[in-house]
Structure 1
Amino acid sequence: MSDVVYRSHVKIVRQKGPYRTAEIPATDAPVEFGVHSAIAAYYGVSGQRDIATTLDYVIAATGG
């Protein structure tokens, strides 16, 4: 078995409801995660800002 080459250090802070910020390597500012459109409707969240979901980031990373 090989040695660990990289370990990501991430800090996630829940802001309110489904909204979170994450401090991740190689970013100058925290990254925001939240809900939008159909996902917000599904969870019954209204009157909030539209922000990309964690699922959006996973799909973007997978497609990259």
Structure 2
Amino acid sequence: DIVIIDWIELIVVVIVAVVGVIAIVVIIVAVVIITAAVIIIVIVAIITSVVTGTIPTVVVTAIIVVD
């Protein structure tokens, strides 16, 4: 009985650890994607501003959001 209980505890610990790792990975991926999106938006905004000769509000908004 003791062995069975230990196995159950071990399985629970492993599951919790795996879920924790997955959660961390998901968060990291989400942050990377968001960062990439912001960078892309800023680059597009800069290109747009260079082409049009004006600074679009997107750049200002993006900078505010980042800060």
1 or 2, which has the higher helix percentage? 2
> Normalising by the residue count of structure 1, what TM-score does the alignment of the two structures yield?
0.25
**TM-score, with normalisation over the residues of structure 2?**
0.25
Q: Which has the larger radius of gyration?
A: 2
